[in-house]
Structures are given as C-alpha cells and as structure tokens.
Amino acid sequence: MAILHYEELITDSWSLTMKIFALALASLLSVAALAPLTAQSPDRLAGKNVSIAPTNYKGRSAIQVIAKPDAANGTSYALVKEASFRDGVIEVDVAGQPAAGAAAAARGFIGIAFRIQGDGRYEYIYLRPTNGRADDQVRRNHSTQYSSFPDFDFARSRQEAPEKYESYVDLQPGVWTRYKIEVDGRKARLYVNGAEQPCLIVNDLKLDPQTGGVALWVGPGTEGYFANLKITAK
C-alpha cells in the first residue's frame, strides 16, 4: 500500500481547496452576470430637464423626478448611469400626477425610456394616470402610450394609426402602480399591476433594435415618483 508523505497530503489538500474556491468564484460570477441592474439613488442618475431628489412617498423610499416647466415634450428624464439595455425586462413602481401649476392638459405622464442613443433618439412607453378613471371613454382609451423620440410622438401616432399605440388600463394619479415592459427586437409588451396579460402590445418599434441607455421618464407638467427599479437585460 502506498504511503503518502505529510507534504503530499498538504499539497493534495491545498489543491482541493483551490478547486473548490475556483468553482465557488465561477458560480458567483455567473450569478452576478445574470443579476438584474438596479438604481435607487440620485448619484446613479443623470437628469435632463428635471429635478431629482430622494424622498419617501406614501410609505416607500423613492426617487422624485419633476419635469422643468419649460421642458419640451420628450426631453425630460433621469438617465440611469451605466445601464445598457437592448432586450429584456424593465420593472419599476411608479406614481405620477400633474405637478403644481401644471397646464390643464397635464396627465401625470410617467414611464420608462429605453434604448437611448448617443444622438438622443429613444423608445418609450408611458402612462397617463389621470386618464384611467376619466368620465370620457376616449380619454380612458389613452391611458397608455408608446412613442419614439423624436420622430414618432403621440400626435403622429394618432394621425397615422389611431388606437394602435394606445390603450386603456385602470390608473389613478399619485397612486403607486407596478409597471413592467418586456422588449424583444421590434416587439414590446406593457404589463400593469401584475396582470398576466399585457395592456399594450407593440409589434413594430420604430427604431432599429440597438443597445442603449434607460431612463426614468416624465412628461410635461409631471411630478413623478419611482421605486424598486429592476433592469434585467438578456
């Protein structure tokens, strides 16, 4: 029977330990690569035509994003630093309402901009919280919206393809709402408040599918709150 010397036992033990460590490290790196990207502090956001502040809104730690009064439509958002997204899932809790002194047409516009390019182009899907329970059925039908900045805004979509890029969903201004979009190539799906079925389906996103940035988006005259942002790219 072979007799192992003490040094050989130490060497074998060390080798086994290193193999276990290497496997554990590889596992951790794999998990980290798959982990969703989150952002919930002002230092991880870069504002464009908005004010950004940490706050507690209706019992939740949140980021307050308010559009500047003179910001043109589509130009006010808080970019998530280092976020890179082409396809995948973006989830966030949002609460939007017209800001103090906002024009009568303000709806509390709030949502997510994605695939933001260096030249300023991006796709976005947003909510109009004041429309969700309006007495006017046409207004209710405009509770959600897909647009593409700068060439395909809500006005153009209504002119070229009425009803195709908007839909109804039950919303209330200033109330926390769970928002989720799934993006895959030219397709996007919007889910609200944990529903199994999407309330808005877009099969022809207007921009070429390219990796880009993600932003917390608010429209003119909006006071918005965001919490529990999760970006899972694939």
DSSP state letters, 167-193 = E-----TTS-EEEEEEEETTEEEEEET
Same domain (yes/no): 144, 198: yes
**Residue 170: what pLDDT?**
98
Same domain (yes/no): 102, 212: yes
Same domain (yes/no): 30, 55: no
Same domain (yes/no): 24, 123: no
Note the pLDDT tens digit of each residue in 125-135.
Answer: 999 999 999 99
Residue-number span of the structural domain to which 190 is assigned: 42-233
Say if residue 173's pLDDT is above 70. Answer: yes
Same domain (yes/no): 102, 57: yes
Same domain (yes/no): 104, 128: yes
Q: Please, which residues bridge with residue 126 across strands?
A: 111, 145
The average confidence (pLDDT) of the chain is 88
Higher pLDDT, 47 or 16: 47
Q: Residues 158, 164, 165, 166: what is their CA dihedral angle, to the nearest 10 degrees?
A: 90
Higher pLDDT, 30 or 138: 138
SS3 content of the chain, % helix, strand, coil (to 5): 20, 40, 40
Note the pLDDT tens digit of each residue in 184-204.
Answer: 999 999 999 999 999 999 999
Same domain (yes/no): 2, 111: no
What confidence category does residue 39 fall into, taking pLDDT thresholds of 50, 70 and 90? Answer: low
Same domain (yes/no): 22, 55: no
Say if residue 1's pLDDT is above 60. Answer: no
Say if residue 18's pLDDT is above 90. Answer: no
Lowest-confidence region among 11-15, 90-94, 195-199, 220-224: 11-15
Note the pLDDT tens digit of each residue in 106-149.
Answer: 999 999 999 999 999 999 999 999 999 999 999 999 999 999 99
